[in-house]
Amino acid sequence: MKFRVFDNDVDLSDFLPPDIPMKGILIGIVLVIGLVTAWNTVYQIEPEEAGVVLRLGKYVGTKNPGLHFKLPFIDQMVRVPVERQLKQEFGFRTEAAGVRTTFSPAAFLGESLMLTGDLNVAVVEWIVQYRIADPYAYLFKVRNVEETFADMNEAVMRGVVGDRTVTEVLTVGRQDIELNAQIALQELCDQYENGIRVEQVVLQDVNPPDPVKPSWDEVNQAQQQRDRLINEARADYNSVIPRASGEAQQTILQAEGYALNRVNRSEGDATRFKSLYEEYRRAPDVTRRRMYLETMGRVMVKVPGKVILDEKAQGILPLLPMDGLRRSANLVGGGGD
């Protein structure tokens, strides 16, 4: 094989090693071209990805996970992690995640410094977790989609924080802020058609700015002390007032019960007296004797020692209970014989 260089005939075999024939080189070149062509024809989509196929820069379709083929040197495949949860951080940056996560020492106050609704300032750090729901919209609907999504996050969070007081932002309103920010951010993503589905907005840390932290801590401690004193006062109130109310109610019920008892007993005594009077009017002697006997029956039961004598008896000594009298004498005389 010869070709002309500078009007001289040169044999190409003069430049080749003596042991490698020209045919072998051509076969090698064909094999390399075949391998490159095969490499650009077959591609594998991983389970967490979707493949967006472009033909001469134009979108032609989206491929699911698996083995696929494309036109070599004409089609281009872009991998989009549709099943992977992505995140963006605002106000801080994670340098290395692990058992001991390390964060960037730089301050990102341009992102985190915000004005609240009561014209106070708070440093808000948050994380947005999202997924790519539409690969085509993610790649072609919005230019610089990641930067645009970050700007959308800042705009939404500043709007949500600006509608609340600094106390709500720092204490009780965190969950409400996260929920409202997620809803507003998703609505904005749908409006922009950027193919992103927002899954969670998490407030990482919310603090007052460093220059006012000491004053804020003092105010917070004063509020906590105030709340503690209020709770203690309420506890005392709840322990004293119900007990006093219960005692008053008990006294009232006792008085009512006593009054009812006295009235009922009085009415019963009056009724009994009237019935007794009616019987006495009908038979005075019998009623008088029955009253005498009933009264003596009640009285004599309470008398410890009794001596019953017959009015016709001549001698009383044999009838006296000597053992009872002796015991009574011992009690009176102090136990002597």
Each domain of the chain, given as residue ranges in start order, spans: 2-80, 86-208, 215-297
Residue 1 to residue 12: CA distance in whole angstroms: 6
Three-state DSSP class for 254? helix
Question: Where are the alpha helices (H) located in 17-88, listed in sequence order?
Answer: 22-41
Report pTM: 0.57
Q: Which of 67, 65, 68, 69 is nearest to 48 (CA)?
A: 65
Length of the chain as a residue count: 337
CATH code, residues 86-208: 3.30.479.30
Q: What is the pLDDT along the chain (337 residues), one digit of tens a residue?
A: 444 444 455 554 555 555 556 666 677 776 776 666 666 677 788 888 988 888 888 888 888 887 877 777 788 888 999 989 999 999 998 887 766 778 788 878 889 999 999 888 899 999 999 999 999 999 999 999 999 999 999 999 999 999 999 888 888 889 999 999 999 999 999 999 999 999 999 998 888 887 877 877 787 788 889 999 999 999 988 888 888 888 899 999 999 999 999 999 899 888 888 887 787 777 888 778 888 888 888 887 777 766 666 667 666 555 555 555 555 555 555 544 4
Residue 292 to residue 248: CA distance in whole angstroms: 46
Handedness of CA 305, 310, 314, 319 (dihedral sign): negative
Question: Where are the alpha helices (H) located in 65-212, listed in sequence order?
Answer: 109-112, 135-140, 145-162, 166-170, 174-192
Return all residues near 59 (Cβ < 8 A) that are at least 6 apart. Answer: 52, 53, 136, 140
